[in-house]
Amino acid sequence: MSSILVTGISGFIGGHVWAALAEREDIQGVYGASGEVPLRPERQLHADLSIIDSLARIVAKMEPRCILHLAAISSPIICGKQSLLCWRVNHAAVRELARAAQQVGARLILASSDQVFDGIRGNYREGDTPDPINVYGETKKAAERVAFSLCDDTIVARINIAFGRPKFFGSSFSEWILAKEERGEPITLFNDQYRSPIDVLTLIHALIELIDHPFKGIIHLGGANRVNRVTFGKMLLRHLGRDSSGIFEMQSSKLDPEGTIPVDTSFDITLANTVLDTPIPGIEEGIRITYAPQQNGI
Ligand SMILES: NC(=O)c1ccc[n+]([C@@H]2O[C@H](COP(=O)([O-])OP(=O)(O)OC[C@H]3O[C@@H](n4cnc5c(N)ncnc54)[C@H](OP(=O)(O)O)[C@@H]3O)[C@@H](O)[C@H]2O)c1
């Protein structure tokens, strides 16, 4: 049976994708150093992407019809500190993967990032020119290019900041805020970093829709609202009935004097709203969806 390969299932977004798809018979998941995900372990494999052809070898053997490639070093801070490793995992492994996908005729859906933009203008559309200002963004931009150049059936899904509870492993910006509030610690948030936060359940719905979608090319997956991190934090805590008095505002230049984190990477999501059936909600609705009591049995 031609199948779907999902990488990065031991991560935040991949864990949710795995929870949604694991019961299918045509699915295979790939996890990294965190280990097996506690759901359908018999359909999972380990790969180390720092060995750059490790995924390509799996693809050559398995011949999937679609690869949803979510595995990456996703932290700009780690990428800044370990740039060689980041280039191997986020770019070189994608190059080998794209080559293998082309050889078996698979579709490649590559998770990219809002950090491919310099963050000067904001409200970015798919046709805007990427101009990253950090290593993470550079590797993602290069991965996008090499995927398009080597695999005819490529979709690049640029993801803005995703929020929600983890399903298995990984974490999110919203969880970081909630953990701080729970411990009664000050929550220092940037008031000049604008994003289009998207709840993880809507995001994975959109990613899964793309598996069999006629669309090809770049698509921006972000939420319907552009907000700064302070506004997001206040909305999150207020909506969940938590105390938001511990939030302190800060300008990002105080912690990032070299300006390595782009200021405004908000997305224009007109294309996603036009192409996808998945409705993309605003932040309050997204918080309601992803933090609903029935999610994760709470
Ligand atoms: N979350 C967001 O807000 C966001 C925003 C923009 C773009 N993205 C992109 O979306 C994708 C998923 O993000 P995420 O938030 O789910 O990231 P995450 O929680 O950090 O998960 C990353 C996944 O990649 C795997 N991985 C990393 N290095 C690996 C290696 N050397 N070998 C094998 N697997 C490796 C991790 O496995 P182990 O942990 O098991 O090693 C994990 O399964 C990434 O491509 C990320 O760049 C995410």
b (16+ CB within 10 A) / e for 163-192: bbbbbbbbebbbbebbebbeeeeebbbbee
Q: Which residue's C-alpha comes closest to atom 20 of ligand 1? A: 74
d(CA 116, CA 187): 27
pLDDT along the chain (298 residues), means of 10: 91 98 96 97 97 98 98 97 98 98 98 98 98 98 98 98 97 98 97 97 98 98 98 97 96 90 97 98 96 64
- For residue 239, tell me if it sits in a domain: no
Q: Is residue 35 part of a domain?
A: yes
Decide if 101 is inside a domain.
Answer: yes
β-sheet bridge partners, residue 195: 227
| Residue 137 confidence (pLDDT) | 98
Task: Give the Cα separation of 77 and 147 in Å (integer).
Answer: 24
Q: Which amino acid is at 100?
A: A
Pocket test for ligand 1, best of 46, 54, 74 (most atoms within 8 A of CB): 74
* Residue-level pLDDT at 298: 36
| 296 Cβ inside 6 Å of ligand 1 | no
What residues make up the domain containing 21? 4-164+196-223+267-277
Among 113, 97, 202, smallest CA distance to 147 is for 97
Whole-angstrom Cα distance, residue 233 to residue 239? 10
Task: Say which CATH number the domain at 78 has.
Answer: 3.40.50.720
Structural domain includes residue 65: yes
Please report the DSSP string for 80-99 in residue order. Answer: HHSHHHHHIIIIIHHHHHHH
Question: Which of the listed residues 13, 193, 269 should we mutate to test ligand 1's pocket, taking the one with most ligand atoms within 8 A of CB?
Answer: 13
pLDDT computed for residue 294 by the predictor: 65
**For residues 161 and 221, is the Cβ–Cβ distance under 8 A?**
no
Contact 71, 94 (CB under 8 A): no
Q: Quote the ligand 1 centre to 29 CA distance (angstroms).
A: 13
Q: Is residue 13 part of a domain?
A: yes
pTM equals: 0.97
Report the domain count for the chain.
1
Residue 20 vs residues 24, 47, 129: alpha-carbon distances, Å: 9, 21, 33
The finding on whether 148 has its CB within 6 A of some atom of ligand 1 is no
| Element of type H or E holding 136 | helix 135-150
Predicted local confidence at residue 287, as pLDDT: 97
Classify residue 216: in a domain, yes or no. yes
Using CB atoms within 10 A of its CB, is residue 17 exposed (0-12), middle (13-18) or buried (19+)? Answer: buried
CA distance 152 to 59: 16
Q: Would you say 161 and 114 are in contact if contact means Cβ atoms under 8 Å apart? A: yes
Does residue 84 lie within any of the structural domains? yes
Asked if residue 130 is part of any domain, the answer here is yes
